[in-house]
Chains A and B, each alone.
Chain A
Amino acid sequence: MKNLYSILLGMLFGGILVKAEVLSWFRIQEMFWFQGFHMYGVIGSAVAVGAVSLWLLKRFNAKSISGDLISPAPKTFNKKGNLIGGIIFGFGWALTGACPGPLYALIGSGYGVILISVLAAMFGVVVYGRLKDRLPH
């Protein structure tokens, strides 16, 4: 059942990504050129809804449908890793016009060439895996 839910929730998110236009290279350039509010509005309101939701889940000690208490682990903070890695991802975000979720959604939207980007991204992860211990984190 969990497998089915995972796919269905992915489909929901994939559909939203397309309709939100956040997977559009055009939107990404508009955002980085500060020529439109759309992306900022999307990210800002998503964070607001996410934060309020998390607060409510905590406030009411919400449990998942399998009965486990919901308490998401905090993100780990690597001062250098988050900044340097973030900058490197930023390069890739503006070049492809897509972050990881949108990459998959773009392939589904008919941009088969983005499959090459996903393979290149996997190669990037492999290279990171090799260099990990020698990189500042």
Chain B
Amino acid sequence: MLQALSNPWPWYIAGPAIGLMVPILLLVLNKSFGVSSSLRHMCAMCSVSTSDYFKYEWKKERWSLLFVLGIFLGAVFVSEYLPSNKLVGISDATVEKLSAMGITDFTGLMPEQIFSFSHISNPATLISVILGGFLVGFGTRYAGGCTSGHAIMGLSQFSLGSLVAVIGFFIGGLIVSWFLLPLILAML
């Protein structure tokens, strides 16, 4: 049982588990599933900006801040007590393609060649970590949601706006993965 939990889950277990977050959050907290608004609440909490966008009672959204604290703790718990010693199960074609672009290490959740403090001065790292993070924050708030709020919760509600947003996610992601990523990895 523990072994089965530790190993990476197949999509038909993982997907429904994520989908069940929708009714669980509603039943327990009566909150709509979504994560990216937490970024706004953190900004409001830290009073980092004076613009009107942050003038609201963030304390009423405390559940969101605690929820993302929980996401962090849950990952800590899993790394500690249910670690997997398997490689991320991507297809051979992806391994081949990434290898051809200079990725040599497939052991973690993300390539340490890019995502580690020791490579922080590398332009590939700067673009992926800092610019990438910036665009995640800016884009999710502009779109009014992320993969959780739009792709899972919004599509579950048959929201047209969420469908438009998800189409946007893919347009952006396809442009980066197909055209920009090869250039970024060339900087490694």
Contacts and interface: CB of A to CB of B under 8 A. Distances in A.
Are the chains A and B members of one assembly? yes
Interface of A: 2-3, 5-33, 35-51, 53-54, 56-57, 62, 64-66, 68, 70, 72-79, 81-101, 103-114, 116-130, 132, 135
Nearest to B86: A21
Contacts of A122: 39, 42-43, 46, 48, 137
Contacts of B172: 86-94
B48 A27 contact: no
A33 to B, nearest CB: 6
Q: Which 8 A-B pairs have the closest CB atoms?
A: A10-B70, A90-B172, A86-B168, A14-B74, A108-B75, A85-B142, A49-B19, A124-B137
Interface residues of B, number: 130
Contacts of B149: 75
A72 to B, nearest CB: 5
A118 B57 CA distance: 22
Most chain A CB atoms below 10 A, which of B93, B137, B139, B157? B137
A118 B89 CA distance: 26
Interface of B: 5, 8-9, 11-12, 14-30, 32-33, 35-36, 38-40, 42-43, 46, 48-49, 51-54, 62-64, 66-79, 82, 84, 88-91, 93-94, 97-98, 106, 108-111, 114-117, 120, 125, 127-162, 164-178, 180-181, 184
16 contacts: A10-B73, A25-B111, A27-B88, A49-B19, A50-B155, A85-B144, A86-B164, A86-B168, A86-B169, A89-B168, A90-B171, A93-B136, A94-B176, A108-B78, A109-B75, A114-B115
